[in-house]
Copies of this chain bind each other. A is one copy, B any other.
Amino acid sequence: MKKDKENIPSINPDFLVPSKKRERIDVHSLFAGIKAGSWQDLSRAITLVESQSKKDKELARQLIHLCLPLSGSSFRIGITGSPGVGKSTFIESLGLALIDSGHKVAVLAIDPSSSLNHGSILGDKTRMDRLAIHEHSFIRPSPAGTSLGGVARTTRESVILCEAAGFDRILIETVGVGQSEVTVHSMVDFFLLMLLPGAGDELQGIKRGVMEMADLIVINKADDERELLAQKSKRMVQNALHILPATAKEWKTPVETISALKQKNVKRVMQLSNQFFDLVRSNNVFGERRKQQAIYWLDEYINFQLKNTFFDNPLIYQKYNEIKEIVRDNQLSPFEAADELFQFFLKSNS
């Protein structure tokens, strides 16, 4: 894999070019390029997967089908945390540590809010400048999209492409908007939650359910005067974990204080994630979880398509928004309202 280290675009320019203006794509040669580790072909393939054009979608389908058997031996790591927690700095540190141990690292992102500004997270690669120019890394900003379902599909298929290109450590970053943590959790093998040092009240800002998904919790910015506060937060989080269900058989979610900026304990985080990887590979949690995730996405995507079909009808959409207000005001039972909309839907489709 070769990169022009002098000229890494902050957003892949293919991303912004309508598909018809691009050269004709041959799926088999693109697949060969990916397998050979071409950074350009991987980039092009992800753009194809992100495309909304019907023709591109069919090509993407063929490509994913070819790549699918090559995935499966990688380790997918999800990373979440509030804005300002230091995710980019941490991902750069962790990514470089992983590369030092002989891995190839791809960094993807899910950010539903990025549909407004074309990739707000990871869009600015200068925040990971050392990782971005490394020949064993690949960084791709969050895909644009109007729905989490669409963005999820794109990212999950990009993972498959990266794996086929030989990347064996996939980091997926998310900022906690809407259901994005659940989305990322459902496509990774290991889920890492980043917190800032703080006392009870600050820690209460953690979103509902996120704590219980974490296979590892790190308290970042544990440096200088925040070291003591970080230790206190660590104990509080450990206390909480005592009574939360384990995320995997034979695993107790560790809590570590780190400083991504000063690279303190980042190697320790890598070791812990490797321990988890070894454990879940040996006790078969890994394979079982991936199978469950595949079924989860099958079901989710059927639902997503069904909802799209329903709400794509502008009359239904308008009627839904009207009826919602009536339901909010307790003038109509939500079930009766749903029945009404549904009857309307069936009639307009028959």
1/0 per residue A196-210: CB within 8 Å of B? Answer: 000010011111110
Known: A242-B200, A298-B338. A303 touches B305 (CB 8 A): no
- Nearest residue (CB) in B for A298 is B334
Does A339 count as interface, using CB distance less than 8 angstroms? yes
1/0 per residue A211-255: CB within 8 Å of B? Answer: 110000000000000000000000011011111111000000000
Known: A239-B240, A298-B323. A212 touches B208 (CB 8 A): yes
Q: A301 and B64: CB pair below 8 A?
A: no
Q: Which residues of B contact A204 (CB under 8 A)?
A: 242-246
Partner of A331, one of B68, B241, B307: B68
Q: Which residues of B contact A324 (CB under 8 A)?
A: 295, 298
CA distance A225 to B169 in the complex (A): 52
- Nearest residue (CB) in B for A293 is B334
Write the nearest CB–CB distance from A190 to chain B, whole angstroms. 17
Does A25 count as interface, using CB distance less than 8 angstroms? no
Q: Which residues of B contact A331 (CB under 8 A)?
A: 68
Partner of A334, one of B297, B303, B310, B349: B297
Known: A291-B328, A297-B334. A245 touches B306 (CB 8 A): no
Q: Which of A16-24, A153-161, A266-274 contacts B (4 or more CB under 8 A)?
A: A153-161
Q: A211 and B244: CB pair below 8 A?
A: yes
Q: A334 and B244: CB pair below 8 A?
A: no
Does A333 count as interface, using CB distance less than 8 angstroms? yes
Q: A61 and B209: CB pair below 8 A?
A: no
Partner of A330, one of B72, B200, B208, B245: B72
Known: A295-B334, A306-B307, A327-B298. A242 touches B240 (CB 8 A): yes
Q: B336 and A302: CB pair below 8 A?
A: no
Question: 7 smallest A-B Cβ distances: which pairs?
Answer: A301-B338, A297-B334, A239-B239, A298-B334, A203-B243, A240-B240, A306-B306
Interface residues of A (CB under 8 A from B): 61, 64-65, 68-69, 71-72, 153, 156-157, 160, 200, 203-209, 211-212, 236-237, 239-246, 290-291, 294-298, 301-307, 309-310, 323-324, 327-339, 341-342, 346, 349
